[in-house]
Each structure stands twice: as structure tokens, then as C-alpha cells.
Amino acid sequence: MPPPVAAATTTRVAVYLRRARLIDSLRLRSSSPSSPLPPPPDDPVVALHAIRAAPTPSSALSLFRALPSAPPPLPLYHALAARLASLAALPDLRAHLASFPLPPPPLARLRLLAAAGDRAAALEAFGSLPAAPRRPAEAHNVVIELHAREGDHAAAVEAFHGMVSEGALPNARTYTVVIAHLASAGFADQALEVFRILPSLRLRRTTRQYNVLAEALAATDRFDQLRWLVREMAAVDGVMPGPQMRAAIAAMREAGHIDCTEDFVEELSPNARIGYAVDDVEGEGDSEEEVDDNGDANHGDRDRGNSEKQSLKPWLDPRELARALDGWDPREVADLEAAGLVWTPRLVCKLLRAFKKEETAWEFFCWVACRPGGFAHDRHTVARMVAILARAGHVELVECLLAKVRADCILLPFATVRLVIDFYGLSKKADAATRVFREAESICGPISRPNLALLCSSLLRTMAKCRRALNAMDLLEEMMARGVLPDLQTFSGLMEHLASAGDLKGVHRLLGLVRQCELQAPARRVHVQRAGEGLLQAGARGARAESVRRNARGRRGPRRAHQGAAGEEPVAGGEAPRGGAGGGEVRGRGWRPPRGVAGARVDGQRRRLEEGARHLLRLLRSA
């Protein structure tokens, strides 16, 4: 008698597609007022999405209470809380929070109460967060956004001031909230000014910021500035347009302003062959600081309540599909091919971003290019794949893709070139980063002087990570000869790197370059002061006390040098005098740098963001 045939195992893609069909049926039945409530699903994943798609608080609560598992898993508690908050069902939300098997974290509670519009309870939750050493930046972001949504400009400015004074660093989402508040209050010029300074703060501009500004500019028919915004989005940041940006581009074209909009005609025309609605996560193209698990969940829940999300098309979640394809098993790929999806650049970008392994992303990138249906990779999909490969250090594949796009006359965004150079610093590929820098204009087109300075700063940072100080100094001299003046962050970062490595000659050389810079007097004094601090540290590490004292006197000026000579005794054995840069002692190899120098090295990013925050605070107060 032959042995029984084992049942074929179900692939993860097949499980995902089955779940998607169940979620679709629940969404469609929930969206129809005349339909009876659907039966509770047994699958927790299906139940979670069904709760998120519930149109009313009562339907969400009914689904949750009818779940067969008792008690339900904790993610379902959070899903129901997020849905009730997005529907502003405050009494139901308070009762539900009290029923949690484990109290939600304070930050999660603050987010939920703020999303529901309970200002007093949200501020109380914010006050319950531990203030030592500082509250999370996201907590401040939520409070600022809450005040802005209520139209309380003074309270929003005060909350931002409290964030800066408390020492929390503003991030990309902070500036998104501020830009949205300024634009909604009618201060589009101030919002644009904040948007323009973000690259100098080394913060990436996000899809949400583009959407907010495009909506504000289109509403006031400021099409010249909108054209500049579209150009920045496409050529500089490489962001795919969101719904508000697409609407603004359509309005601009209707008004006769078609320059720089030709590449978006296909985006504005819906493709009738696409038979599904892609779950449109707002984080597409955003910086990592603005995207986290909780934030995406909250924004996704709020979006699913909109009428646009209740379209009668099947639902597709790129993150779940990418999770099912992890490992790129041939059986999974066969099920994906049988699904008959219509591939678009937007969907391909979302899937590439969702893959956890670069090998899987590369397999998918090559596979989708050969699918029937007319799909072809464009600048967005290639840019996403190049960034993924560069982060993993696959120099050969990156150079192969770059050669291909050059041969096809495709220009990648400027932000992709910066990302590649920055990622090569993580994988210690200094030579490859230099080649990309030299070929930058052939990759992304003409580069403006401010952007060239940013690109130079990225390469210098990569050189420092690869311990190529000599090459970094040569590059710095070359850029200065071309008239590209490095900014304060570039000088400070390179000085701190040379100082921490004990490279006294490099510090001397960089200090000479600082003195050659034609900077404004206050900025130049700051450069020289920080350069002197770095020189003090490097000299101390090399036990060169006399050199340290001479340069310290030169930095502090004749009066301070005389005071130091009169009030300090020479220190033998390589020690620096007390009261130097930041105070403290300097003792050879085991020396721990004084606070003034160590803080300059450790908190370089903090200084930059705090300077931007102070500038932003002035803008807010002027508005």
C-alpha cells in the first residue's frame, strides 16, 4: 500500500492573500450601513485590520467584544484604542484604556489622548512623563501638534520653547508639525523659510512637508513658488508626490503652468488596470526620524477612516507582502506571480522599502523588471535600490546600477547621491564614496553651490569614519579653492575627529584653513575658538604641553594669555593648565577630555539642531 501523500504546505504569500480577501470582505461589509455586522474573525491579524477599518466606534467595539479569544491579544487592545481615538470617541476611549490588561506606556497614552482631542488629559499625561534627563522629543511633538490643531499659536510656541530649553532635540517630525501649523495659520512664507533651512540642519525633507506646503501654495495661486517646490521634490529630495501634492500639480497645470510637471502626468491619471487600493503609508520617502512603528500605526488608523480609504477596491499592504516574501522562496514567488498584481513604481518602491534584507530586495528588483505588463524601473525605484545596496556595502552592484542609469540618461535625485556617500561611511568604502562624489553631476545633474557644500560635508564625514584624514584635508582644500566654503558643522566635525585621533599636524593644518576662510567676524571667532579647543585636546594627547599653551594663548588673545601666564604654573609630564578649554586636567594617554572639548565632540549634532531650533523659535514668535 503506498504511503499517504503529505498535504502541500501553504506558502506565506498564499496566507497573506487569503487574509487580504477576508480583510476586504470585512471592510466592504463594514462600510455599508445596510449590511449586518460581519462575524468576528478567528485570525488575530484579520481582526486587527477589521477593527482599524471599522466606520463607527460602536462597530469597532462590537467587533472587539465578539472576538473568540478571551482575553484578546494586546495588539488588538491598542488597535481599538487607536481607532476610538481617530474617531474622537472620548468616553469609549477612556473606558477602554481603563480595561487594558497592562497599562499603556505614558507616551502611547499621550498620543491616544491627543489624537482624540482631549487637550487637558493629554497635557496631564505629558506632565506625568519623567522630565529627567529629558522628555522624549516625540512627546513634545505631540503637544505642539495638539496646540496647533486647536489653533492656540501662543501655546504652540511656548511648547516648542519648552522643548528647546529642556534639551530635547527637534527632529524631522517636529519641523513637520511646525510647517503645518505655520501654513494653516496663513504664514506660508515663514513655513517655506523653515523648509529651506532643513538641509543645513542635516534633516531630510519629508513627504508630509511637501504635501502641506503644496496645499498652502496652491490655495493662494502662488504657482512660481509651487514650481520651485515641485523641482526640489523631484530633483533634490527624490520624494514621490502625495495626494495633496498631486492635487496641487493638477491645479497648476489647469492654470497653464506646465513647466516641471510633465513627469507627473501619469501620476495624475488613474490606471484602470489597477484593481486594488495600496495601503498608502504617509511615511513614503520620509526620514527615519519621522517613521516609527507606533507613529505609522496611528497615522494609518486615521487614514483608514477617511472616505478615500473606503474605496471598493481590494486592500494591499506592502509591508505584509514583503514580510511574506522574506527569503525569496521559489514557491512564494510562484504564488506572487499567480496573483496577477499590476506593478507600478510606487508599489515597487514601497515593497523595496519594506524588505528587511538587501538580498531579497535585489532579487525582487530584478524579478519585477522581467514581468509582463509593461513595467519599467524609473528614477524612483533605481534610487531606492541604490540606497539599499549602498547601505549594505555592495559597491559593485551600486556602480553597475549607476552606469546603467547614466547610459539610459536617467538622472537620480541629489539626495540619493548623498545617501550613497553617507552609507559608504558605514561600510568603510572611502574610495567608492570618492568616485561617487567625482561623478555626482553625471548621476544627478547640475548641483547648486549649497548642495555641493552638503555633498562635500558628507564625503568628509565618510573620510573621517574611514580614518582617511589626509584625503579629507586635501578635499577640503580643493573645495575651498573652488569657492565652496564649508559650514560650521563641517569644520567642527573634522576638527573634533582630528583631535580625538591625536593628529596634531592635521589640527594645525586645519586651523590654518580656518583662518583663511572669509567668514563673518562672529562666525569666524566661533570657528577659531572650537579649532583651538580641538588643538588643545590633540596637543594634550601627544603630551605636547608647550605647543598647547602657545596655541591656547593665541586663541584667547593677549589679555587672556597674560592672565593665564600670571595665574598658572607650568605643568610637567604632559599636563595642560587648569582652566583651559572647559577646565579640568589633561594627563597623557589616559586623559579624559574636559567638558568643553568632550561636549563639542559628543554633542556636535545637538549644537546644530539647537541652533536651528533657536532660529525656528524666532520665526514662530515673529508669526
Domain match, 512 and 451 both? no
Domain match, 449 and 434 both? yes
Residue 607: its pLDDT value, please?
A: 60
Residue 175 maps to a domain: no
Full residue range of the structural domain in which residue 467 is found: 355-480
C-alpha dihedral (269, 274, 278, 280), degrees to nearest 10: 0
Q: Cα–Cα–Cα angle for 422, 173, 119, nearest 5°?
A: 165
**DSSP secondary structure letter of residue 277:** E
State the pLDDT confidence band at 601, using cuts at 50, 70 and 90. Answer: very low
- Residue whose C-alpha is closest to residue 327's, from 351, 352, 363: 363
Mean pLDDT to the nearest integer, 208-233: 95
Is the CB of residue 443 less than 8 Å from the CB of residue 413? no
Residue 581: its pLDDT value, please?
A: 36
Domain match, 471 and 511 both? no
Residue 254 maps to a domain: no
Residue range 552-597, pLDDT digits in tens: 555 444 444 444 433 333 333 333 333 333 333 333 333 343 333 3
Position with higher pLDDT, 24 vs 77? 77
* Domain-ending residue, one of 446, 480, 514: 480
Q: Look up residue 411 and give its three cell numbers.
A: 538622472
Question: Is 33's pLDDT higher than 70?
Answer: no
Q: Cα–Cα–Cα angle for 270, 271, 273, nearest 5°?
A: 150
Element containing residue 159 per DSSP (H, E): helix 153-166
Domain match, 473 and 550 both? no
Burial of 610 from C-beta contacts in 10 A (0-12 / 13-18 / 19+): middle
At how many degrees (to 10) do helices 188-197 and 207-219 cross?
150
Domain match, 496 and 525 both? yes
Domain match, 546 and 455 both? no
Residue 278 phi, psi (nearest 5): -75, 135
Residue 595 CB neighbour total at 10 angstroms: 13
Residue 37: its pLDDT value, please?
A: 62
As a whole number of angstroms, the distance between CA 254 and CA 309 comes to: 26
The CATH number of the domain holding residue 416 is 1.25.40.10
β-sheet bridge partners, residue 575: 587
Residue 327 CB neighbour total at 10 angstroms: 11
Stated pTM of the model = 0.79
Question: Is 44's pLDDT higher than 80?
Answer: yes
As a whole number of angstroms, the distance between CA 321 and CA 137 comes to: 32
Is the CB of residue 532 less than 8 Å from the CB of residue 581? yes
Position with higher pLDDT, 368 vs 548? 368
Domain match, 507 and 429 both? no
Residue 545 maps to a domain: yes
Lowest pLDDT segment from 154-158, 249-253, 470-474, 560-564: 560-564
Question: Is 609's pLDDT higher than 80?
Answer: no
Residue 67 maps to a domain: no
Position with higher pLDDT, 90 vs 553? 90
Burial of 254 from C-beta contacts in 10 A (0-12 / 13-18 / 19+): exposed
Is the CB of residue 472 less than 8 Å from the CB of residue 507? no
State the pLDDT confidence band at 604, using cuts at 50, 70 and 90. Answer: low
Residue range 115-143, pLDDT digits in tens: 999 999 999 999 999 988 889 999 999 99
Domain match, 476 and 493 both? no
Mean pLDDT to the nearest integer, 168-172: 91
Residue range 91-112, pLDDT digits in tens: 999 999 999 998 899 999 999 9
Residue 63: its pLDDT value, please?
A: 87
Residue range 271-318, pLDDT digits in tens: 666 655 555 444 433 433 343 333 333 333 334 344 333 343 456 788
Rama region for 573: left / alpha / beta (φ>0; ψ in -120 to 50; rest): left
Residue 544 maps to a domain: yes
181-189: which pairs have CB atoms within 8 A and are 24 or more residues apart?
A: 181/144, 181/145, 181/148, 181/153, 181/156, 182/619, 182/620, 182/623, 183/212, 183/213, 183/215, 183/216, 184/148, 184/212, 184/216, 185/151, 185/153, 185/623, 187/623, 188/213, 188/216, 188/217, 188/220, 188/222
Residue 88: its pLDDT value, please?
A: 93
Lowest pLDDT segment from 314-328, 453-467, 534-548: 534-548
Residue range 479-506, pLDDT digits in tens: 888 888 877 778 778 888 888 777 778 8
Domain match, 435 and 510 both? no
Residue 557 maps to a domain: yes
Residue 268 maps to a domain: no
Domain match, 474 and 503 both? no
Residue 342: its pLDDT value, please?
A: 86
Q: Write down the H helix ranges in 205-329.
A: 207-219, 223-231, 243-254, 265-268, 293-304, 318-324
Residue 478 CB neighbour total at 10 angstroms: 11
Written in H, E and C, the secondary structure of 479-530 is: HHHCCCCCCHHHHHHHHHHHHHCCCHHHHHHHHHHHHHCCCCHHHHHHHHHH
Residue 583: its pLDDT value, please?
A: 37
**Polymer length in residues for the chain:** 623
Residue 339: its pLDDT value, please?
A: 87
Domain match, 516 and 464 both? no
Q: How far is CA 205 from the centre of its chain?
A: 8
Counting the structural domains of the chain, the total is 2
Residue 262: its pLDDT value, please?
A: 84
Rama region for 570: left / alpha / beta (φ>0; ψ in -120 to 50; rest): beta
CA distance to 244, 485, 548, per residue, from 469 (Å): 46, 19, 21
| Cis ω before 372 (30° cut-off from 0) | no
Residue 440 maps to a domain: yes
Domain match, 398 and 460 both? yes
Residue written as cell 577659531?
A: 528
Lowest pLDDT segment from 47-51, 175-179, 389-393: 47-51
Residue 230: its pLDDT value, please?
A: 95
Question: Is 398's pLDDT higher than 90?
Answer: yes
As a whole number of angstroms, the distance between CA 213 and CA 114 comes to: 24
Mean pLDDT to the nearest integer, 348-372: 94
